[in-house]
């Protein structure tokens, strides 16, 4: 997923192809040992993408393989910039429902340039894309929510992946979570659900994901010229 997303970013212009050595992709994704194990992981990813009709790969004597994008749905059809396809069809009066396969979201360049693509796990990256898609047509500060059934049907992500990804995004400061009551009637059983606010402006900061232990560690603060540790005070 990370390799393909990065190729979509770098090969946005026709003819939608790239020819970089595997170690370059491994370095971009901050994989350990980019010239060795990292490069092999990238080559395995490209092989998977080719087998599943997301790219074509052409060997070049003495040069890195040339990888050409195909349709993001894995249909094997040629790649076309989704925005151009969607806008062109809409101007011709096409029914919006028929354009569902051409709808798209834009991932800001800062997702790469600030290091988020390399820093976030696959689960964190997946949930960032999910929330980004859910935010389309909504205010930047609007609370987002989807049921486990909808999440599974629409995105085919397991509960463990969703949970791990959302927790990571919260620790990174990209997402704020709040609990909201579901029932509006005082006589109903009180139930709650988690809602999320995606902070796109946080992408401009240098990527970092504090671990759970770091967040739970008490801070030292200065009181009247002395350094004291306040019990129960933890980093935000």
Number of H helices, E strands in the chain: 10, 7
Q: Which of 76, 102, 128 is the last residue of a domain?
A: 102
Q: Give the per-residue pLDDT at 222.
A: 44
Regarding whether 87 and 6 lie in a shared domain, the answer is yes
Angle of the 37-51 helix axis to the 2-10 helix axis, nearest 10:
80
Beta bridge partners of 18: 67
* pTM greater than 0.95 (yes/no): no
Regarding whether 129 and 63 lie in a shared domain, the answer is no
CA angle 42–48–54, rounded 5-degree value = 105
236 domain residue, yes or no: no
Q: Give the per-residue pLDDT at 94.
A: 63
Regarding whether 124 and 86 lie in a shared domain, the answer is no
Regarding whether 123 and 62 lie in a shared domain, the answer is no
CATH of the domain at 47: 1.10.10.10
Q: Which of 206, 140, 198, 139 is nearest to 165 (CA)?
A: 198
CATH of the domain at 127: 1.10.10
Give the pLDDT band (50/70/90) at residue 235. very low
Q: Which of 102, 131, 151 is the last residue of a domain?
A: 102
13 domain residue, yes or no: yes
pLDDT in tens, 42-59: 999 999 999 999 999 999
């Amino acid at each position: 997923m990370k390799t393909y997303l990065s190729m979509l970013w770098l090969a946005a212009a026709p003819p939608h192809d790239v020819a970089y050595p595997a170690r370059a992709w491994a370095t971009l994704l901050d994989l350990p040992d980019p010239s060795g194990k990292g490069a092999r992981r990238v080559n395995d990813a490209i092989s998977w993408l080719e087998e599943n009709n997301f790219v074509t790969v052409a060997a070049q004597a003495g040069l890195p393989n040339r990888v050409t994008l195909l349709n993001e749905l894995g249909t094997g059809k040629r790649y076309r910039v989704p925005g151009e396809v969607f806008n062109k069809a809409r101007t011709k009066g096409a029914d919006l429902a028929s354009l569902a396969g051409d709808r798209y979201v834009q991932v800001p360049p800062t997702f790469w340039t600030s290091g988020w693509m390399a820093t976030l796990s696959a689960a964190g990256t997946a949930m960032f894309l999910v929330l980004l898609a859910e935010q389309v047509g909504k205010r930047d500060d609007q609370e987002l929510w989807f049921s486990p059934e909808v999440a599974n049907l629409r995105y085919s992500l397991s509960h463990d992946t969703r949970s791990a990804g959302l927790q990571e995004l919260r620790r990174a400061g990209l997402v704020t979570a709040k609990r909201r009551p579901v029932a509006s009637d005082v006589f109903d059983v009180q139930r709650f659900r988690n809602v999320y606010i995606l902070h796109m402006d946080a992408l401009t900061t240098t990527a970092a994901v504090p671990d759970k232990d770091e967040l739970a560690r008490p801070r030292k603060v200065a009181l009247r010229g002395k350094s004291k540790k306040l019990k129960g005070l933890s980093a935000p």
